[in-house]
């Protein structure tokens, strides 16, 4: 990896570059899905998306633990690691930490907003995110369980696209 161009960037420019990377990370993910659906069908794209997002988060947690001081386990460790997850940065999860559980709500989702703007139906993301969150949480601590309170295609209030609950067993 050649990171030479980044070596002399000051903090504001590094943050701007990070915004650029995160934006294109999301755009690449979107077009990957769109083109798979066009080439095959939406059901195939959904299955592939679920498979990929069921695998990548656990790999990310292992890498995050190597690069950052993330030694804690349990729900506090999950929240600590989740704050580094690109999708938390992109989406802005609202994280509520309680004694026995963590609740994540998503008031606004860039992916769903883009679909609705283009007059597509909401993406049925529930199973993809179930795999993503479960993979991430279990990589932090195998005792963490993931429960979907609601996510598309489930009905949801207009001010919230999805809600997830995490707890220990």
Confidence (pLDDT) at 103? 98
What's residue 33's pLDDT?
93
3-state secondary structure of 103: strand
- What does the alpha-carbon distance between residue 42 and residue 74 come to, in Å, rounded to a whole number? 36
Task: Please state, for a pLDDT cut of 90, what percent of the chain lies above it.
Answer: 95
Q: Residues 110-124: pLDDT tens digits?
A: 999 988 999 989 999
Contact 139, 163 (CB under 8 A): no
Strand partners, 106: 162
DSSP H helices in the chain? 4-7, 11-39, 42-67, 74-82, 86-91, 110-117, 126-140
What pLDDT, on a 0 to 100 scale, did the predictor assign at position 150?
Answer: 98
Sorting pLDDT into bands at 50, 70 and 90, what band is 98?
Answer: very high
Determine the structural domain holding residue 23 and report its residue range. Answer: 4-168
In tens, the pLDDT along 48-94 reads 999 999 999 999 999 999 999 999 999 999 999 999 999 999 999 99
Four-CA torsion 77, 103, 144, 79, nearest 10 degrees:
-10
Number of domains making up the chain? 1
Give the DSSP H or E segment for 141. Answer: none
Domain containing residue 79: CATH number: 3.30.1380.20
Rounded Cα gap, residues 83 and 152, in angstroms? 23
Q: Contact, 82 vs 160, CB < 8 A?
A: no
């Amino acid at each position: 990896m050649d990171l030479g161009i980044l070596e002399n960037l000051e903090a504001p420019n590094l943050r701007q570059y990070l915004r650029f990377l995160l934006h294109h990370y999301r755009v690449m993910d979107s077009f990957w899905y769109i083109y798979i659906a066009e080439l095959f069908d939406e059901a195939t794209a959904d299955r592939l998306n679920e498979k990929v997002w069921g695998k990548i988060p656990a790999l990310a947690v292992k890498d995050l633990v190597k690069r950052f001081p993330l030694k804690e386990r349990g729900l506090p460790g999950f929240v600590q690691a989740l704050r580094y997850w690109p999708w938390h940065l992109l989406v802005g999860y609202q994280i509520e930490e309680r004694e026995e559980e963590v609740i994540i709500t998503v008031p606004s989702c860039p992916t769903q907003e883009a679909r609705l703007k283009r007059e597509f139906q909401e993406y049925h993301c529930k199973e993809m995110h179930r795999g993503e969150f479960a993979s991430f949480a279990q990589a932090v601590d195998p005792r963490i369980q993931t429960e979907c309170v609601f996510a598309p295609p489930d009905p949801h209030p207009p001010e919230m696209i999805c809600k997830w609950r995490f707890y220990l067993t």
